[in-house]
């Protein structure tokens, strides 16, 4: 089972690549990728107009049972909010910008996944 780990990481990286290209094609600009924060990792930090967008990319082979979006549970949302707060604290030029949390649920072929973009998937004050 040791060989599954690199495959999982490769699928995740391919899904993030696809999500990044997808979002850029819709006018979002990359600020940072795989931003390591004390609260956790932020897959993509994007700018959409004046807003800072924290994007969680979740790959599942199949979209059944809610797919990747369903895996962003309450605990994961809390970790993302903490990581986003830490990111904003260390990037003062974005500290007062409006923010949102999006989820990209990827499924199917990891090299060309089907992407479902959930804009404003949850709010920090809900966590």
Query: Domains along the chain?
Result: 4-126 (3.40.1350.10)
Give the Cβ contact number of residue 117 at 10 Å.
Answer: 14
The predicted-structure confidence for 34-50, as pLDDT tens digits, reads as follows: 999 887 899 999 999 99
Q: Distance between CA atoms of 20 and 120, rounded to whole angstroms?
A: 17
62 pLDDT exceeds 60? yes
Q: Answer yes or no: are the C-beta atoms of 84 and 95 closer than 8 Å.
A: no
Q: Which residue has the higher pLDDT, 38 or 83?
A: 83
| Alpha helices, DSSP H, located in the chain | 4-25, 67-70, 74-90
Question: DSSP assignment, residue 36?
Answer: E
Query: What's the pLDDT band for 69 if we cut at 50, 70, 90?
Result: low
| pTM for this entry | 0.88
């Amino acid at each position: 089972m040791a060989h599954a780990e690199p495959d999982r990481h490769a699928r995740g990286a391919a899904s993030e690549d696809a999500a990044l290209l997808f979002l850029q094609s819709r006018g979002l600009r990359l600020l940072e990728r795989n931003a390591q924060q004390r609260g956790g990792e932020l897959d993509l930090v994007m700018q959409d107009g004046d807003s800072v967008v924290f994007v969680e990319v979740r790959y599942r082979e199949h979209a059944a049972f809610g797919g990747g979006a369903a895996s962003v549970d309450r605990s994961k949302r809390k970790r993302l909010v903490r990581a986003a707060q830490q990111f904003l604290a260390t990037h003062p030029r974005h500290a007062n910008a409006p923010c949102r949390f999006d989820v990209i649920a990827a499924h199917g072929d990891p090299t060309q996944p089907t992407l479902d973009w959930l804009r404003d998937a949850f709010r920090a004050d809900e966590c």
